[in-house]
Structure 1
Amino acid sequence: MRRGRQPDLTPGQDSFLDVVANLVGILIILIMIVGARAREALVDVVPEATDTETTIAAQAADLKSVADSVEHDTRDMAAKLERQDLEIAYRQKERDKLLVRLTAFEKEIASAREKLGAAEQSELDAQRRTAELEQDLDELGAARGALENATGAASVIEHLPTPMAKTVFGTELHVRLARGRLVVLPWEELVDKLKDEAQQQLWKLKNAPSITETAGPVEGFRIRYTLRQSESSIESKVGPVIQRHVELDRFELIPVSDDLGEPIETALRDGSRFMAHLGNADPKRTTITVWVYPENFDQFRSLKSMLYQRGFLSAARPMPEGVHIGGSPHGTRSSAQ
């Protein structure tokens, strides 16, 4: 037999299903609203993140630029310190050599005086005074002969006092008197040029015991210099240690032209370039070192007279014809009068 139809659901069950359906619909709507708002918020946040990344990238670039600048300044400072160390070592070595020589001379003089008695010392002083008087007598004789042979207006023979020479340790202004022309030598500028360029040539000494290079020109002069390797032995706790270092062997100034400077007559007048250099120098602290060639010895006397009148000490450096002005760490200082 067929079963009969089941009875319809009760009204309460229909209401429950309606409520569930409504809740599901509300949840779907809420989910859609939340999703839409989340999408809008995401769209708003993305530009902010992009702006932040751009700012960070710009700051990173600025920091890198600052770091590069600091690194560059550090390298420059290290190079300057290295050049200063080289100069200090060079000056210290030169000073030590001068002190050794000075000490040796003082010991020799003291030893010689100790060996002399009072009478012998008096005799030595008398001989020195006699030599000075003989020099004055010769100059007076020359002046008398000139007066006796003069046919025109009387000429004045100027006698400059000749004080005891003393070694120059202050500022020196170097000038060259050659071919009747006087020129101030750019001494300090060329030495600075040598120091700067010598640093760049040190690598050549890896395969050679010495090198010769040229720097400049500066104010009409080039400087040709020779660097060489040297060794020294020092005592240490483990025994003698050999140190190798580079030192300046010699240098010379090479003019680019024969007509540098001014004619000596022009240079000794007010308003000349040479007088301008003298105006910037302190007579109490500056010695004028004159590198003079044989054909200009007479003109040097006029220059020395002018310098004496202005309160400057002068030191003559006679030069053989055809030889360039130069020096070395093993040379001697000028003696001023």
Structure 2
Amino acid sequence: MTTFVSRLKEENVDSLRELTGWRRTDYWDAGLSTADADFYMPLVRTFWEAGHPRIGEARDAARRLGHGIRVLAKIDRLSKKGDNPNDLRVLLCGTREQDLDKVAAQHTTPPETKDEATIGVSQDGRNRLVIRSTEPWLMDYIHGLPGVEPGNYDGLYEGLKKHVENRTQLTAPRRMIHILVNLHDLEMILRGDGEDILVRATDGTWRTGAELMEELLAGVGLATIVNARNEPMKQYRLKRYFTQAQRDMIAAVQHTCMDPDCKIPFSMCQADHLKAWAKGGETNLDNILMLCEYHNMKKRDGDVYYKGSDGRIYKRREFGPDVPCN
């Protein structure tokens, strides 16, 4: 293990120079795998072969900070998303590893998103319909299908099929959501000045302040007012499973799956114990962790989440600093 770690530490931007001119077959001849070739070839191209402007400055900066190959791969990926990749590459090569994501985000314009519906065909020949929308009507439609309710979408396909074949009617949607409003925005909404204010609900949808007032006056939905610190009340119970009331309250602060790389909305997440019930974890709001089905399974497989001394939830990483979840 010591030899392996030492070899990893020795790999740097100058190590890549030894691979200039190599084709995929050269990697195979050297006893390396296709995966190795796919990993190293783009890095060699970026840092030694392509002749990007300011690439010499980038290499010098990487040497000063002692960035290894894996860090350079992350820098290469982040810089390609930047508004000016060549300048961003130099900047990131001179940035500490733990600050790379933050610095890159400051120099990268997020891609524009729009509500849309697309149709495609999968490789196995099945048709595919994809709808992307933040407007409430879509979740209202889904929750009105037979066999579908918030948090349980196993019957979605059959519900859609029955509705299209005119074998069922939509039911009135039952919104198990919280609409999150801070106090400053609430004051403007109540004054009737909410047309330009957007508030988010825990099912991932957005509405204007004016639309929110219409829903509240119609008795639809549930609005939760949170302060700037986003602190919910505590509720301790001696049962293993979280109640719906506890799920409703935690929605005020955990709006989506708490994994830092996931944005699945609250209504499609599962309530789990931050500290496992089997290890003494209590069933209360301080110990609830909302995760989508995938990340909940990953947690059972060994992914670790914990609450730091600052009260925030973190995800432990095998390499590098732990990542805050909220």
TM-score (norm 2): 0.19
Which structure: greater strand fraction? 1
- Bigger RCO (CA 8 Å, 6+ sep): 1
TM-score (norm 1): 0.19
Structure exhibiting the larger radius of gyration computed from Cα positions: 1
Which structure: greater helix fraction? 1
